[in-house]
């Protein structure tokens, strides 16, 4: 790790490197140099990202585009080059590493403390989408194929259940039935794309609250991070993934499902922030698809956790034996909540829609 760190153009020499953050995919470290400058050092997950040069090219292009609109370095994620001018390096073991400027005096929340925090997260992701509206979406690489293709995620779940490599299928019958009962509806957004009613744009595709940094003092939105999955996608997916994580009343891996529900005030706050920033640029069909996006992203995420559970926890980092199953269960509980609170969700979007 230290060897990789030395390959970057740093102010000072790396003095301490410690694991940092709560992401499920990459290995992230806080690196502090002997002159007191902070960096994020990351080992990119090569099992998840099969074409790292393409992924880094996307990030380089997108961050440069955003930097043209924001001169403040705390407002755009900034890659630190290697001493030979590359944006990442490969160590002797074949692992890929990159370094970002650390956004100082920022907050990365695992749950919103109040509706204002979540409103601001909505502003950050809405602004991100607006600022990339003139970026040619088709020129970005697809870093994970079929990432938010929900019907394809069903096929992956069914395959994992068929192989049942860990002998876990017997204990997830209820969860399998829950997912399979929703196959038809889960294809709705993809059908609208096929019919030409929904457009693809440059989207983030992983809009969890902990992928946005707020100013530690003012709590204003600063910077959207974790750009590995920026690629063409649907506005509904970006809206929806934020809701499934931040509008839940409990953590993603809560084991007491009585504590998990959908907070309507949080839903409303996020929608307000998001639509205030990018609502004008969305079509009527896109606005109407936002609640569906929340439902679909939550179901899809639950199915992805279940698939990983059945396949032996090889995708998401886990910290206990049935961690992925616990995560799946919170998502399915939220799906049920959304089905029950559907009219209220739709009513909020309708009221806030600029059209
Ligand atoms: P993962 O793909 O594993 O989620 P992230 O890129 O989201 O990785 O990084 C993990 C965590 O590291 C974030 O949730 C955040 O706490 C922190 N982080 C990442 N980049 C920065 C940055 N530039 N400045 C400050 N903190 C950061
Ligand atoms: C992963 O990387 P992280 O922790 O921000 C995952 C998302 C899931 C999320 C569930 C590349 O996000 O798609 O929704 O976990 N990222 C990838 O918490 O698969
Ligand atoms: Mg992350």
Cβ of 203 below 6 Å from ligand 1: no
108 pLDDT exceeds 90?
yes
- Global confidence as pTM: 0.97
| Nearest residue (CA) to ligand 2, atom 1 | 24
Identify the DSSP state of 74: T
Mean pLDDT for 277-282 is: 93
Domain annotation for the chain: domains and CATH numbers: 2-103 (3.30.200.20), 115-352 (3.90.1200.10)
17 has pLDDT over 80? yes
CA 181 – ligand 1 centroid, Å = 36
CA–CA separation, 186 vs 195, rounded Å?
16
Q: Are 245 and 252 in contact (CB under 8 A)?
A: yes
Confidence of residue 253 (pLDDT cuts 50, 70, 90): very high
Quickly state the pLDDT bin for 145 (edges 50, 70, 90): very high
Confidence of residue 70 (pLDDT cuts 50, 70, 90): confident
Burial letters for 20-50: b for 16+ Cβ neighbours within 10 Å, e otherwise? bbebbbbbbbebbbeeebebbbbbbbeebbe
Task: Spell out which residues line ligand 2, taking CB within 6 angstroms.
Answer: 23-25, 48, 206, 208, 211, 226, 228-229, 241, 252, 301
Radius of gyration of the chain (CA): 20
* Residue 98, strand partner residues: 42
Percentage of the residues of the chain whose pLDDT score is greater than 90:
97
| Packing angle of the helix pair 323-340, 173-180 (nearest 10 deg) | 40
pLDDT value at residue 191: 97
pLDDT score for 162: 98
Short-list 131, 112, 298, 102, CA closest to 209 = 112
Q: Is the pLDDT of residue 73 over 90?
A: no
Split at pLDDT 50, 70, 90, the class of 354 is: confident
> Is residue 235 over pLDDT 90?
yes
Q: Is 101 helix (H, G, I), strand (E, B) or coil?
A: strand
Mark out the alpha helices in the chain (DSSP H runs). Answer: 2-5, 52-69, 115-131, 150-163, 173-180, 183-186, 188-194, 235-246, 264-278, 284-311, 323-340, 342-352
Going by CA atoms, what residue is nearest to atom 8 of ligand 1? 23
Tokens of 209: 């609250």
Taking the CA of residue 22 as reference, the ligand 2 atom at the shortest distance is 4
To the nearest 10°, report the CA torsion of 268, 273, 276, 278. Answer: -110
Distance of CA 77 to the CA centre of its chain: 15
- pLDDT for 355 beyond 80: no
- Please check whether residue 118 is in contact with residue 263, taking contact to mean a CB–CB distance below 8 angstroms: no
Query: Is the pLDDT confidence value at 2 over 90?
Result: no
Q: How far is the CA of 198 from the centre of ligand 1 (A)?
A: 31
- The percent of residues above 70 in pLDDT, for the chain, comes to 100
Local confidence band at 71 (pLDDT 50, 70, 90 cut-offs): confident
Span 130-145, mean pLDDT?
A: 95
Which residue, 338, 236, 331, 325, is CA-closest to 289? 236
Tell me how far apart the alpha carbons of residues 223 and 68 are, in angstroms, rounded to a whole number. Answer: 14
Average pLDDT taken over every residue of the chain: 97
Q: What are the tens digits of pLDDT across the range 195-224? A: 999 999 999 999 999 999 999 999 999 999
């Amino acid at each position: 790790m230290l060897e990789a760190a030395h390959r970057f153009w740093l102010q000072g020499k790396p003095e301490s490197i410690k694991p940092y953050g709560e992401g499920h995919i990459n290995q992230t470290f806080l690196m502090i140099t002997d002159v007191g400058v902070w960096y994020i050092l990351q080992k990119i997950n090569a099992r998840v990202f099969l074409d790292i040069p393409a992924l880094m090219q996307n990030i380089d292009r997108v961050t440069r585009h955003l930097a043209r609109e924001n001169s403040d370095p705390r407002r755009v994620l900034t890659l630190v080059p290697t001493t030979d001018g590359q944006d990442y390096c490969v160590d002797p073991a074949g692992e890929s590493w990159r370094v970002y400027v650390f956004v100082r005096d920022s907050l990365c929340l695992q749950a919103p403390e109040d509706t204002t925090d979540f409103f601001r997260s909505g502003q950050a992701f809405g602004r991100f989408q607006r600022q990339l509206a003139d970026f040619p979406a088709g020129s970005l690489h697809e870093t994970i194929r079929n990432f938010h293709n929900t019907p394809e995620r069903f096929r992956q779940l069914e395959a994992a259940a068929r192989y049942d490599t860990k002998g876990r299928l017997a204990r997830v019958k209820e969860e399998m039935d829950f997912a399979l009962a929703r196959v038809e509806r889960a294809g709705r957004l993809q059908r609208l794309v096929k019919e030409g009613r929904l457009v693809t744009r440059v989207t983030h595709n992983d809009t969890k609250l902990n992928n946005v940094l707020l100013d530690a003092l003012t709590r204003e939105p600063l910077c959207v991070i974790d750009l590995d999955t920026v690629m063409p996608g649907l506005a509904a997916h970006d809206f929806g993934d934020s809701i499934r994580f931040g509008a839940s009343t409990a953590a993603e891996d809560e084991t007491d499902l009585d504590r998990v529900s959908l907070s309507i005030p949080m839903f409303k706050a996020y929608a307000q922030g998001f639509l205030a920033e990018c609502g004008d640029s969305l079509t009527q069909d896109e606005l109407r698809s936002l609640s569906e996006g929340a439902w679909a992203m939550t179901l899809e995420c639950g199915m992805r956790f279940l698939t990983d559970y059945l396949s032996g926890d090889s995708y998401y980092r886990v910290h206990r034996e049935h961690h992925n199953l616990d995560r799946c269960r919170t998502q399915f509980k939220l799906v049920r909540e959304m089905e029950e609170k559907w009219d209220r969700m739709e009513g909020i979007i309708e009221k806030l829609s600029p059209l």
